[in-house]
Amino acid sequence: MRTEVRICFDGNDIPGGAQAVLGPARCGPDVATVDDEPVLGRLDVWVTVEGTDPRLPVLLQLLRDHRASWLERRKDYYTDEELDRAQLIIMRNRGENDVFGGPRLGTCYDMEGACATCGAGARQTSALFIDGEDIPRLEGLRATSTYYSDILVDEALAEALAGIGATGLSFRAVYAVMPDKRQLKLRWRQLCAAHTLPPMSPRSTGIERRDACTSCGRSGFFTKMDDPPRLVYRPRDIAQSEDVNLTWEWFEDWNFDGNVSEALFSYPWFLVTPKVMRVFRDAGVTAFDWLPIRVEDDSA
Ligand SMILES: [Zn+2]
């Protein structure tokens, strides 16, 4: 695994300009880009380096010396060997061609057993409905996701996934709701998972509870920009896992007053086995980041 770090600061914050820190930190054009023109008074400077690059601590110290603030993004990349060896892999959508879908488009959910406060545990009972205005975004794709991590695959990819005998998955039809309310069946399928894992180990990092539901504690998990998600599960908790699973934790914002047709639900992440990941990657799908979990006993 390697971790890529991206630093962004305002060159106008530095007396003498961006080069006054880039020069001494030896960050040349191989790792640094400086905007040509200021935007709203900011002259953004981006530096992208490996987490182990010795120039990184030097650059950050220089920024501190100048009392400049900066944004820091960290992202993990895993080798093919690491991914193939993983027991489960987070399938994290990259948000590049997401479409709008879910309860507000008419998708139905069974709320029996779901949290009455936040809706976590809502069980989808109908086809997936997406916004017809987003149909052009599907053009040329084999797989994508709604903003809420409902995974969409084209028919051939659905067949390929069914063909490898993967466990724990099923497919639902996908309809687009057109501006005139007509429902148009699409040549796409929603990938659904039957199994929900137990809560992850507290040894997991890069995940925070920011807006936790006070009733169930299950909604309102978020990732951090400067600390990539590294999930840890105890061996016993993944003993019953399938090829496609959902996290117990539900991520991102929620807004629910009991009316499903207006609900914004948090959503679980998909955790899949390498053989499922391979079907997506072999199909040339680039919509997802693949992040292996770590399996570790935390009783010791
Ligand atoms: Zn709740």
Q: How far is the CA of 117 from the centre of ligand 1 (A)?
A: 5
Q: How far is the CA of 6 from the centre of ligand 1 (A)?
A: 35
Decide if 107 contacts 173 (C-beta within 8 A): no
Q: What is the mean pLDDT of residues 123-136?
A: 97
Q: How far is the CA of 97 from the centre of ligand 1 (A)?
A: 29
DSSP H/E element including 21: helix 19-22
Q: What is the mean pLDDT of residues 194-201?
A: 96
Q: How far is the CA of 195 from the centre of ligand 1 (A)?
A: 19
Instruction: Please tell me the predicted confidence (pLDDT) of residue 211.
Output: 82
Q: Does 59 have pLDDT greater than 90? A: yes
Q: Does 164 have pLDDT greater than 80? A: yes
> For the chain, what are the domain ranges?
2-77, 80-295
Q: How far is the CA of 118 from the centre of ligand 1 (A)?
A: 4
Q: What is the mean pLDDT of residues 167-183?
A: 97
Q: How far is the CA of 192 from the centre of ligand 1 (A)?
A: 21
State whether residue 238 is helix, strand or coil.
Answer: coil
Q: How far is the CA of 52 from the centre of ligand 1 (A)?
A: 40
Q: How far is the CA of 260 from the centre of ligand 1 (A)?
A: 14
User: If you average pLDDT over every residue of the chain, what do you get?
Assistant: 95
- Quickly name the fold that domain 2-77 has: VC0802-like (3.30.2130)
Residue 112's φ and ψ, nearest 5 degrees, are -65, 125
Decide if 152 contacts 99 (C-beta within 8 A): yes
Q: What global pTM score does this model have?
A: 0.92
In the chain the beta strands, taken as DSSP E runs, fall at 2-10, 32-34, 44-50, 70-77, 89-93, 109-110, 123-124, 128-131, 143-145, 151-154, 169-177, 183-193, 195-196, 207-209, 221-223, 232-233, 244-251, 267-272, 288-292, 294-295
Instruction: Please tell me the predicted confidence (pLDDT) of residue 300.
Output: 59
- The pLDDT tens digits for 1-31 are 999 999 999 999 999 899 999 999 999 999 9
Q: What is the mean pLDDT of residues 92-105?
A: 93
Q: What is the mean pLDDT of residues 116-137?
A: 96
Instruction: Please tell me the predicted confidence (pLDDT) of residue 41.
Output: 87
Lowest average pLDDT, out of 35-39, 118-122, 204-208, 249-253, goes to 35-39
Distance in angstroms (rounded) separating the CA atoms of residues 202 and 60: 30
Q: How far is the CA of 266 from the centre of ligand 1 (A)?
A: 10
- Which tokens go with 18? 């961006």
Q: How far is the CA of 293 from the centre of ligand 1 (A)?
A: 25
Distance in angstroms (rounded) separating the CA atoms of residues 97 and 167: 27
